[in-house]
């Protein structure tokens, strides 16, 4: 089972040999077994990789994330569906009823808000009780848009003088970086279980190839928030660009701890379990079997 990620911030030449990723840099060579790697972040414009390596990574289900000139994740490569029950899983996904999708979205939003409350507890920001009360008010399909109300309250508590729509704030840059990595991990898990990421529960944009990933990623976002808070601190807005250390910290978010089913596991494995449980929920026609990560302060 894959359990590690590779984050490249220096000029590198990537090839494949003996089922290993060969990373050749100016100061030497490193080899990693492909079967151990879940994701690769290419965070240097002076990095090259061979078609043979990309083929091997896709064959093993490794997500490859690319960044733009500002070091912001801008794209992801994922394998074509290779699940042994691909047609059956896809048929159930397509046949899911409107009421079932609304109930699944209700469960997802509730867990997201509960995780946000736990983040506030962990940072000592206060307001967790209010958020948990809001989570209990989320109805099927969230017709009252409690998710957005909770978000406004949450951000106002987590950081002072913070605006989520300020792209120049270093904290937002860190959040966006981490969200992109987690979204890729969730998309990877969905593909591995035979689900089609383009067909969402709540998200339904005709131009979005990852609607379902954008649904399932919501309870994972507070884990990114907590990591950004620990890395950036609770101070005033910062206009600095992301440092290499910032990017490394956020790229490692999938290796952080989560709780699921009473046990601790990495967020990467939690994404896999969540995707598998979503398939079971579609098969059973009930959200009761859906398993989502729980944030523990």
At 218, which CATH number? 1.20.120.920
Single residue among 42, 77, 112 that ends a domain in this structure: 77
Count of structural domains, the chain: 2
Domain boundary among 77, 107, 140: 77
Q: Which of 27-36, 68-77, 83-92, 246-255 has the lowest mean pLDDT?
A: 83-92
pLDDT in tens, 86-142: 788 989 999 999 999 999 999 999 999 999 999 999 999 999 999 999 999 999 999
The bridge status of strand 20-25 relative to strand 12-17 is antiparallel
Q: Please indicate, yes or no, if residue 296 is contained in any of the structural domains.
A: no
Percent of the chain exceeding pLDDT 90 equals: 80
Residue 297, domain member (yes or no): no
pLDDT one-digit tens code per residue, 223-233:
999 999 999 88
Is the separation of the CB atoms in 172 and 164 below 8 Å?
yes
Distances (CA, A) of 230 to 97, 119, 295: 41, 11, 15
Confidence (pLDDT) at 235: 63
pLDDT tens-place string over residues 12-70: 999 999 999 999 999 999 999 999 999 999 999 999 999 999 999 999 989 999 999 88
Query: Do residues 143 and 253 share a domain?
Result: yes
**Residue 28 sits in a domain of what CATH number?**
3.100.10.20
Quickly state the pLDDT bin for 184 (edges 50, 70, 90): very high
Q: Is the pLDDT of residue 295 over 90?
A: yes
**What pLDDT, on the 0 to 100 scale, is given for residue 79?**
83
Give residue-wise pLDDT tens across range 270-288: 999 999 999 999 999 999 9
Same domain? For 237 and 264 the reply is yes
Residue-level pLDDT at 105 = 98
Q: Is residue 221 part of a domain?
A: yes
Containing domain of residue 45, as a range? 4-77
Q: What's this model's pTM, rounded to 2 decimal places?
A: 0.91
Do residues 55 and 147 both lie within one domain?
A: no
* Mean pLDDT estimate for the chain: 93
- 109/33 same-domain check: no
Any idea which of 62-71, 139-148, 180-189 has the lowest mean pLDDT?
62-71
8 and 108 co-located in one domain:
no
Domain stop point among 50, 77, 104? 77
């Amino acid at each position: 089972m894959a359990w590690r990620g590779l984050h490249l911030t220096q000029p590198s030449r990537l090839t494949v040999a003996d089922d290993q990723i060969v990373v050749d840099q100016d100061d030497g060579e490193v080899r990693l077994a492909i079967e151990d790697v879940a994701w690769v972040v290419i965070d240097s414009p002076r990095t090259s990789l061979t078609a043979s390596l990309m083929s091997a990574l896709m064959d093993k289900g490794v997500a490859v994330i690319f960044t733009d000139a500002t070091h912001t994740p801008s794209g992801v490569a994922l394998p074509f569906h290779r699940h042994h029950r691909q047609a059956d899983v896809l048929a159930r996904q397509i046949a899911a009823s409107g009421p079932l999708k609304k109930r699944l979205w209700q469960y997802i939003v509730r867990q997201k808000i509960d995780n946000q409350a736990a983040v506030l507890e962990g940072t000592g920001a206060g307001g967790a009780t209010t958020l948990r009360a809001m989570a209990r008010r989320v109805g099927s399909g969230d017709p009252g848009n409690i998710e957005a109300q909770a978000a406004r309250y949450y951000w106002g508590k987590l950081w002072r003088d913070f605006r989520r729509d300020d792209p120049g704030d270093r904290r937002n840059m860190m959040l966006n970086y981490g969200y992109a990595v987690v979204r890729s991990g969730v998309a990877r898990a969905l593909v591995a279980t035979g689900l089609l990421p383009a067909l969402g529960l709540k998200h339904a944009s005709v131009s979005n190839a990852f609607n379902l990933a954008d649904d399932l990623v919501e309870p994972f976002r507070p884990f990114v928030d907590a990591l950004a808070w620990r890395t950036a601190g609770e101070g005033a807005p910062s206009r600095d660009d992301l440092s290499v250390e910032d990017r490394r910290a956020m790229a490692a978010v999938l290796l952080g701890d989560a709780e699921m089913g009473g046990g601790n596991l990495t967020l990467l494995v939690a994404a896999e379990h969540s995707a598998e449980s979503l398939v079971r929920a579609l098969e059973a026609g009930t959200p009761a079997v859906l398993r989502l990560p729980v944030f523990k302060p």
